[in-house]
């Protein structure tokens, strides 16, 4: 996705120039571009009056920020306790093989980002995989392959 100055401006307008908004502003950038483009990082830091080294530290500390573009579809495999006991780790490995990409990485064609998350709070349906905004409960590699084909 290309990054336009106007889009970044529109995000900055929501926040008064104060360092307390660093996390929130970066979240809005992440939501808009699905990653934090360097230009947006610099603009946010300048606007809020924080050194870029702090923006960098914050963006690399929190797991929801990505500094690289992400895939069209996000696959989140839940590795909460209940999902772990019911085979979440095996599912993750299966998906890694299926997509040819390691967890927390994006396929080269930018189609899929495979992520592991800690508890989606749907433990009764374990193991759970979230594909974009849809939950897939009591998942196994077969039902996942079927869902992926639909995309």
Partner 1 sequence: MSAKKTQKAKESKKAKKEKDDGLIRFKINGQAVEARAGWTILETARQNGINIPTLCFHPAVEPIGSCRLCVVEVRQNGYSRVAASCITPVQGGVEVLTDTEEVLNVRRWVLEMLLANCPASHQIRELAKEHGVTSTRFKVEHPEDACPRCGLCVRACDEVVGVRAISLGNRGVFKEVTAPYNQRSMECIRCGTCLYVCPAGAMEQLFPLVSAP
Partner 2 sequence: MERISNVAKLEALRESLHAAHDPERPVVRVCLGPGCLALGANKVSRAFQAAIKAKGMGASVQPLIKETGCHGFCSQGTLVNVDPFNLFYVKVKPDDVEEIVETTLANGQAVERLLYSDNGNRYRSASEVPFYKMQQKVVLKNVGVIDPLKIEDALMAGAYRSLAKVLTGMTPDKVIATVEASGLRGRGGGGFPTGRKWRIAAENIRKNPGAVYVVGNGDEGDPGAFMDRTLMEGDPHAVLEGMIIGGYALGAHQGYIYVRMEYPLAIKNLGVAIEQARALGLLGENILGTGFNFDIRINRGAGAFVCGEETALIASLEGQVGEPIPRPPYPAEKGLWDRPTIINNVETWANVPLIMEKGADWYAGLGVPTSTGTKIFSLVGKLKNTGMIEVPMGISLGRIVEEIGGGVPGQDWFKAVQTGGPSGGCVPYELKDTPVDYDSLSQVGSIMGSGGMIVMDKRDCVVDVARYFLHFLEEESCGKCLPCRLGLKSMQEYLDKFAKGQGSPQDIDDLHSLARAIMKGSLCALGGTAPNPILTTVKYFKDEYLAHVVEKKCPAGVCRDLITYSIDPEACNGCGLCVRNCPQDCISGEKKKAHSIDVSACIRCGQCMDVCPVDAVLVA
- Residues near partner 2, by CB under 8 A: 19-24, 26-27, 48, 50, 54, 57-58, 61-65, 79-85, 87, 90-91, 93-94, 97, 117-126, 128, 135-137, 140-142
| CA 34 distance to own-chain centroid | 7
Least separation in angstroms between residue 139's CB and partner 2 is 9
Q: Smaller CB distance to partner 1: residue 51 or 137?
A: 51
Nearer to partner 1, 27 or 143 (CB): 27
Closest distance to partner 2 from the beta carbon of 9 (Å): 20
Burial of 47 (0-12, 13-18, 19+ CB in 10 A): buried
Q: Which does 22 bind (CB under 5 to 8 A by kind): partner 2, partner 1, none?
A: partner 2
Distance between CA 111 and CA 47 in Å, rounded? Answer: 33
């Amino acid at each position: 996705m290309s990054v336009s100055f106007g889009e970044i401006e529109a995000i900055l307008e929501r926040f008064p120039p104060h360092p307390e908004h660093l996390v929130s502003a970066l979240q809005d950038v992440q939501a808009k571009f699905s990653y934090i483009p360097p230009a947006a990082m610099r603009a946010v830091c300048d606007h809020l009056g924080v050194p870029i080294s702090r923006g960098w530290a914050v963006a690399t500390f929190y797991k929801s920020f990505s500094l690289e573009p992400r895939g069209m579809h996000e696959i989140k495999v839940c590795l909460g306790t209940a999902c772990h006991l019911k085979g979440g780790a095996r599912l993750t490995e299966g998906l890694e093989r299926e997509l040819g990409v390691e967890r927390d990485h994006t396929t080269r064609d930018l189609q899929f980002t495979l992520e592991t998350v800690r508890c989606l709070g749907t433990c009764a349906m374990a193991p759970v995989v979230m594909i974009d905004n849809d939950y897939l409960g009591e998942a196994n590699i077969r039902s996942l392959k079927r869902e992926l084909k639909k995309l």
